[in-house]
Amino acid sequence: MKKQFLFLTTIAVLFLTACNSTSLKSVYNKDTYEKDLVKLTETKQLQEDESKLISNYILIKLKDEKALTSKSYADLLTDAKKYIADQKEKEEKEEKAKRESMSKMMTVSF
């Protein structure tokens, strides 16, 4: 009888621990995301730079709550990386356009 009780207690504790743990599949919650990111970093599910990337992305998207609602931290990490890549691509296109414009201006002036 004691073995059964101990076994059931152990299972219950493990189950409750698993339910309260934070994983990359956990859904973003504006009230707990900072603590969640700390837990994910401490448990080595996220690298520190990835945690910062998600945090910065959340700050950028705070005005657009739909961009964050019902997304997991894994989804937010993917979205943040895509956002950074899109921003770099946009900057490169703008820089290329500026260089082409300057080149045309230099050609005309000579």
What is the predicted pLDDT for the residue at 69?
Answer: 87
Indicate whether 8 belongs to any domain. no
For residue 92, the enclosing domain spans 24-109
Residue 69 lies inside a defined structural domain of this protein: yes
Going residue by residue through the chain, which has 110 residues, state the pLDDT in tens, using 9 for 90 and above. Answer: 767 766 666 665 455 445 456 789 999 999 999 999 999 999 999 999 999 999 999 999 988 888 898 999 999 999 999 999 999 999 999 998 888 888 777 766 55
Do the domain assignments include residue 63? yes
Q: How far is CA 95 from CA 29, 82, 90, 92, in A?
A: 37, 20, 9, 5
Structural domain contains residue 43: yes
91 occurs within a structural domain: yes
Return the pLDDT at 9.
Answer: 66
Total number of domains in the chain: 1
DSSP string, 62-109: TT-GGGTTT-BHHHHHHHHHHHHHHHHHHHHHHHHHHHHHHHHHHHHH
The conformation of residue 67, written as its DSSP 8-state character, comes to G
